[in-house]
Amino acid sequence: TLGVRRLKEIINVSKKPKTSSLTVYLTGQATNNAEQCKQVSCRLEHCTLRKVTANTTIYYDPDPQETVISEDQEWVNTYYE
C-alpha cells in the first residue's frame, strides 16, 4: 500500500492514529546529552505537520508500479521486487 493508510491518517487529521510512532536520529551535541535529548523529545511530542514541512505536493500514480516521480522509480522498483 506504500503507506497509504498512514497518509490517509495524516490528511484526515485522525484523532486516534494507528501508527503513531516516529524514530528520530539526533546529531551533534544532543546525541550525548540526556537533557538535550529530553528537550527535543518534548518539542516533537506535540509537533504539527505544518511546523516540519516547507511545502507539500500530492501526486497521483494510476499504476503504483510506474510512478510519475522519476526520483522515486528506483524505490518503487525495489518495493515490488
Rounded to the nearest integer, the mean pLDDT of the chain is: 80
Q: Given a cut of 60, is residue 14 above it in pLDDT?
A: no
The whole-number average pLDDT for the span 4-10 is 67
Domain count, the chain: 1
* Cβ contact 37:27 at 8 Å: no
Distance of CA 16 to the CA centre of its chain: 17
User: Is the pTM value of this prediction over 0.85?
Assistant: no
CA distances from 41 to 38, 52, 69, 79 (A): 5, 14, 33, 31
Q: Where in the sequence is the domain holding 32, given as residue range(s)?
A: 4-79
The whole-number average pLDDT for the span 21-30 is 80
User: Pick from 7, 10, 18: which is nearest to 59 by CA?
Assistant: 7
Position 16 confidence tier, pLDDT thresholds 50, 70, 90 = low
Q: What cell was used for 9?
A: 491518517
